Amino acid sequence: MSSRPSRLVWHFPPFIICLGTLVALLPTIANAETSRAWVDENVESLVELYRHFHTHPELSFQEEQTGERIARELADAGAEVTKQVGGFGVVALLRNGDGPTLMLRTDLDALPVVEQTNLVYASKVKVKDTDGTEVGVMHACGHDVHITNLVGVARYLSANKNRWQGTVMFIGQPAEERGAGAVAMLEDGLFERFPKPDFAVAMHVDSGLATGKVAYRAGYALASVDSVDVTMHGRGGHGAYPHTTIDPIVQAAQFVVSVQTIVSREVKPIEPAVITVGSIHGGTKHNIIGNSCHMQLTVRSYDEGVRKLLLEGIARKAKAVAMGANAPEPTIEVSEGTPSLWNDEDLSARLDPVLRRVVGNENVASAEPSMGGEDFSRYGRAGVPILMIRLGAVDGERLKRYEQLGQAPPSLHSPLFYPDVEDALKTSVPAMSEAAIELLKPKD
């Protein structure tokens, strides 16, 4: 009888130890899943979430429901969520011990565009804009992809905390399309109420880059953007008696031609600069000379000195034209300005090998500098090293077809633009997740 218990003692404990070890290791085994494997398994739910955001777009500073939904998604991922920062902005902190703070940002707003893609989930939303005019609303700039990507990254990082250490600060930013959301969040104490990040990374879809690819550019990548309204004033009267009037439309015509010489004759030829008169409105009837003519300009550059030169030159040219016509001084208003975007060179160099490892060396492109603008730049101006990565959004075969037809693919802001979202997310979520893990490496 005495030998039987001894056999039980010697045989069962190893089994119990092995089983206990296995149970203890199960979370680690589950957490060891690669970001690419994770997104392959979870992409269906992400595409469903994308379609929700696509079919429920909201204009700048009206993103109430978008903010509520992303707040709920980030809370479900374990983050501490604060809503209504700088409008309907969302800040969510996913903490995982001591370490750096990384900010990952998405924009929330859509555009006043009537969608013409004929997709089964195309936006049917129509709302009143700030002028009371009914407009269609569409995520024509891919912000719905950006939101979904952020949620995917949050879910992955939450499930794999063994791979990183520190704090991830997820930002849902309003009003990027108006260039006003970043400054609104900063003025609402973004970096005072919450940890000031050590790094900030964002991703933006690129309508001309194939899915599976990413691109970035260290240094200047996007331009400063200023909106300028110029109103030439005159003295109205009958079109048959122009000598009794001061014609504001003639002044406007002279200004449109004169202002182009700022870029061609005052800016150094190697410095990027653009002045575009995008809108001109004056007069009411064939035979009436009106009292005023209103123009809207977009002004873009990289260098702050060039930016100042352009804005001062516009005012000088407008005033010179008015003086030449013996007219009242013009009204000049500058608004909606965003600074140029500078991708931090050290941060770019650190994440370059990560991107190449995740998507393949051949799938990382050098992005061309663009005269487009992005208020993500403001976080860089606030002292945070930033990097914006461009994400391939259109299937390569579809891009080839456009080329065969001699057509350019629909650009961002086009009513015909749509991303091949599943393939885009299969690239963006692993790329952003691994970038985060690189910047938040656990301490030895």
Task: Write the CATH number for 180.
Answer: 3.40.630.10
Could you tell me where the DSSP H helices lie in 137-269?
Answer: 143-159, 181-187, 190-193, 248-265
Q: What's the predicted TM-score (pTM) here?
A: 0.88
pLDDT score at 4: 41
Task: Say if residue 176's pLDDT is above 90.
Answer: yes
Is residue 303 located within the same domain as residue 366? Answer: no
pLDDT band for position 196 (cuts 50, 70, 90): very high
* Residue 8 placed within a domain: no
% of the chain surpassing 70 pLDDT: 93
Report how far apart, in Å, the C-alpha atoms of 252 and of each of 151, 230, 258 are: 48, 9, 10
Q: In the predicted model, what is the mean pLDDT of residues 52-77?
A: 98
Beta strands in 8-115 (DSSP E): 80-85, 89-96, 101-107
* Residue 377 placed within a domain: yes
The structural domain count of the chain equals 2
Report how far apart, in Å, the C-alpha atoms of 71 and of each of 17, 33, 202, 225 are: 43, 25, 18, 30
Which amino acids are annotated catalytic?
A: 109, 176
Mean pLDDT over each residue of the chain, to the nearest integer: 93
* Residue 19 placed within a domain: no
Is residue 352 located within the same domain as residue 270? Answer: no
Is residue 50 located within the same domain as residue 171? Answer: yes
Supply the range of the domain harboring residue 80. Answer: 32-222+340-439
pLDDT score at 272: 96
Q: What is the pLDDT of residues 385-424, one digit of tens each?
A: 999 999 999 999 999 999 999 999 999 999 999 999 999 9
Task: Say if residue 250's pLDDT is above 70.
Answer: yes
pLDDT score at 337: 85
Which residue, 305, 338, 371, sits at the end of a domain? Answer: 338
pLDDT score at 21: 42
Is residue 132 located within the same domain as residue 212? Answer: yes
Q: What is the pLDDT of residues 328-348, one digit of tens each?
A: 999 999 987 899 999 999 999
User: What is the amino acid identity at position 282?
Assistant: G
Task: Write the CATH number for 287.
Answer: 3.30.70.360
pLDDT score at 443: 81
Is residue 313 located within the same domain as residue 365? Answer: no
Q: What is the pLDDT of residues 26-38, one digit of tens each?
A: 333 334 589 999 9
Which residue, 338, 364, 389, sits at the end of a domain? Answer: 338
Task: Say if residue 2's pLDDT is above 90.
Answer: no
Cα gap 224→400, rounded to integer Å: 32
Is residue 176 located within the same domain as residue 122? Answer: yes
